[in-house]
Structure 1
């Protein structure tokens, strides 16, 4: 039986004692909120021992009254106490307009947040790289666990499908290098040195570097988006539940494909860029293709080719690990898939350029210059 809410008052030495009874739900409160608002004198205690039931509206009414007169609640049940405490937690002032932060302090805070995020990402990448090495060693010890079909499919996605766009890009880059180089060298009457510029710059740096940037934007983003979507739809958790390692089934095929295909794509890119440079030299500088090839063999040492081929698998490893790592970090919603995909591309390109700078210094130090 739902008894209507009732309020009785007793006068004590230190203030009034209010006793509540009945059902403190929205349908039975009646005039109780108005009667509580009309009480102005000091109230020592609010006795709720005879309350049958209370809902959120009733709890809010009690909370508002107690906060106004600073009374103490006694006799409330556990459920009533818990509900009043929850109402008390959400009764916080909300700033319609946040306080303005001084520009210098705001910029300093953003720099600090970016530094912390970069450090955490670096630690996460190092941990993921270690997990990749452990998984690779496990697969070497147990070759039957290698998913050959998945690896071959990644070969096609990373390598074969990218031949057209990488070829077009490399051909145009070769033309641009030859054209800009010839314009500058013409001032000294040394247009023939355009062949030196195209050959050494392409084999040593730009062929592999531009291929890495293209693979990062094409395949690295795909790795992050695919794994991020699988993480969001809990497919990766389902794989762990049935005993399938995501590192073996998802990460290692992508890492293997990127590491193996990058040297091939880099060499292919360099050759196509050389063809583009030779085409420009033949059209604009009247240098026959035979002369171009002979000069190329004289001025480009074999070490330039080895430099590019040594850097290529390292770049492929960086791109694959960055894409897979960022994809596996997706947690909340579909928007984070896009954010992590962007982070994978930016992170991979940044790390590739940083590692390329270290390689340049190292190869100069060992005499391959």
Structure 2
């Protein structure tokens, strides 16, 4: 079958280019990957690395990982009438809906006839397997301990060159398990995190992880037996339900609907990774986080101050969210951007300062008037 032309899909499939595909576990030679004691603060001199990158780059790279202008899809109204007719009434133009799958309807690999059902099902799953608000209340672990753990897991994810889906699923497993087990203390929290990474890797990757590598990267704090026992306990607590969707699934779909460039998508991923670190955002539904990241990334890079204009009738139709539904989450994400540079947890910012991710975390637009406007709004009471 002849290869068909793609716009956003080809670029989104390149997000995991940094993850080395192999038939067995991949880990750098021992001695080159820093060991980490249980829940110890990450110490890779991130600040020095970022300052060096900042001194050589004043903004986002113009070419690395950035797509050209997106292909404009044909517009259709709800009744199938083109919106190009200048004689149409104002109200009819306001309900015009662009079909984002128009160019892929004949491609069996894109399964366009099932997309609506698939995402409706994902919306059901995120409600079926929620993360409770303030789930660490009365817990032996704390939000600060969770943030340190997530920052370390991002580093482990980078060291092992894993798929980005593996990281998001790993953090979701950690949150869902912690809300079911209040007796996890600082001593065993790292064991939960590394075991969740192993489970996520089995779920998302194409090769089986080597437990010896995980024991090594934890500085032999835990044995293989302890990891296997924790894996069994996590799966039992979650009743083997690992299908809760991640925000990245929704971001890809929403960005296709919005017909964004690759740098928009990269910034959206960066926003969602910053949200992984934030305990106060862990309970927000992945689809809402993705919708907010999609809207905010377009506003930042296109320097659009009036964000409701970005959230078109097409996006409302396909995401099922009005702008008012995502407004608070957009403000929360803006505050995360504003404090990212001074945060103690720098792994995600360092990761997105590399050319693989178009150095998006170093973009001067992240300190632009839109972020200043949004951060002037006080955070909602969590």
Greater relative contact order (Cα < 8 A, sep 6+): 2
TM-score, structure 1 as length reference? 0.27
Greater gyration radius: 1
TM-score, structure 2 as length reference? 0.26
Quick check: which one's helix share is greater? Answer: 1
